[in-house]
Amino acid sequence: MKSVVVDKVGSVTQACALGQELRLSSEIPAEEGVIVVAEVLNNKSSYNTLELASGRMAKVVKGDIVVGALGPRRALFGYSGHVPSALKPGDVIQMLNIGGVMGICDSATADKGKPFDCRVLGVVLQFPYLGERIGIPARVGYRALDFNAPLDTRGVPVVALAGTCMESGKTAAAAAIVARMRHRGLIVDAFKATGVSLRRDILAFEDAGARRTMIFTDLGVVTTTGRTGPALTRTMLTELSAGKPDAIVFELGDGLLGTYGVDAILECEDIRRALTGVVLSANDPVAAWGGVKLLRERFFVEPCLVTGPSTDNQVGVEIIETQMGVAACNAMTDAAGLGDAVIAAIGLSTATPLAAGAAE
C-alpha cells in the first residue's frame, strides 16, 4: 500500500467521494467498475478534457495523475475499447471517454485523434471497516445492481427519449421537456438509462429543473449492455416513482441499433407497458423514417413525437409529419412547443398554465 496525491478525479467515481490523497494497492482486479489511478503520458489538442466529480470540465495534460474506472466502451463516435484481462502497475491503458472510463482502446474516429495513454499506478483502496486498516479495491456506484429488480411506476407517467444514434439531440430534447413541465407546475424526476459513464446529461436535467436524477453509474455499471439495461431501467423507474413525481423523463443513450442495450430495454414487455410516451430524436428525415419504422415494427411502440436535427426547419417537420404520420417539433427553436406537445400526448394537459413570471 502506498499514498499518492492526484490532480484530477473523473466523474465516473463520484459515488466514492474521493479526495486528492489516496491509498493505492498494486493488486488490481481487472474488472469493470474498479477505480484506478494513472499518469497521463501524452498531450492532445482535441477531446482533451475530463469531467470531474464536481461536474466541471478540466483540461488534461501530460504528467497529470488522474483517477478513473475500468470499463468497456463500444461507441459509434469516439473511442471504443475493452477491459484488459489482467492489469498491474506500469501497464499502459487509454482513457476511453471524458468521464474517466479507462481500458484498452480498440478503435477511434479520426476527429477525436489518438486517446490519452495512461500508465497505471495502482487501484484505489477504500477502508469500510471502522477502526481497521483493511483496504478493499474501490468500485463505482452507491450500490450494486439487482438483476431481479421489480418494476412499479405507481401510475406515474413516463416519457422515454430514444435516438437514431449518438449525438442526435436526445439530451437537449429531454431537458426542454423537463423545463417545460416545471414551467407548467409539474414535479419531474429524470434519469439516464443507457450509455457510458458521464454525468453531463443528468446535470443538464437538473439545470432544467428536475427534482431528482439518477444514472446507471449510481448502480455500479460503467457501460451499459443488453444484459444490464433492462434491470437498470426497472430499478431507476421504481426508485424515482416512489417519490411520487408528476412525471418521469428518461434518456436512452446511444441509438436504437447501438450496443448499449436500448433494444433490450424496448423488447421487455413490462417496460414498454410502463412507457406513457416515447419521443424519437433523429438526425435527418431518412433516420427519422427508419427510427419510426423500428419502433413500430420491432418494438411495437408508437412514437408520440419526432425531434432532433431532422426538425431543424419546416421542411424536415413537414416530411416527417406527412410521410410518417407523427408530429414533429424542434427542441432548440420551439422548446416550449415540444414540451407542451409531450404533456398533451401523455395526458397531463391539465397541468397549470405557464407559471407566473416564467418566460415563454
Q: Is pLDDT of 294 > 90? A: yes
User: Alpha-carbon dihedral of residues 31, 33, 39, 45, nearest 10 degrees?
Assistant: 120
Q: Is pLDDT of 352 > 80? A: no
Q: Is pLDDT of 133 > 70? A: yes
Locus of grid cell 463500444: 74
Locus of grid cell 488522474: 66
In the chain, what percentage of residues exceed pLDDT 90? Answer: 87
Q: Is pLDDT of 166 > 90? A: no
User: Which pLDDT value is given to residue 126?
Assistant: 92
User: Which pLDDT value is given to residue 113?
Assistant: 85
d(CA 221, CA 59): 25
Q: Which of 73, 76, 134, 61 is nearest to 101 (CA)?
A: 73
pLDDT mean across residues, the chain: 93
Locus of grid cell 461536474: 55
Query: Which pLDDT band holds residue 148 (cuts at 50, 70, 90)?
Result: very high
Over residues 247-266, the mean pLDDT reads 94
Q: Is pLDDT of 125 > 90? A: yes
pTM greater than 0.85:
yes
User: Alpha-carbon dihedral of residues 22, 26, 29, 34, nearest 10 degrees?
Assistant: 20
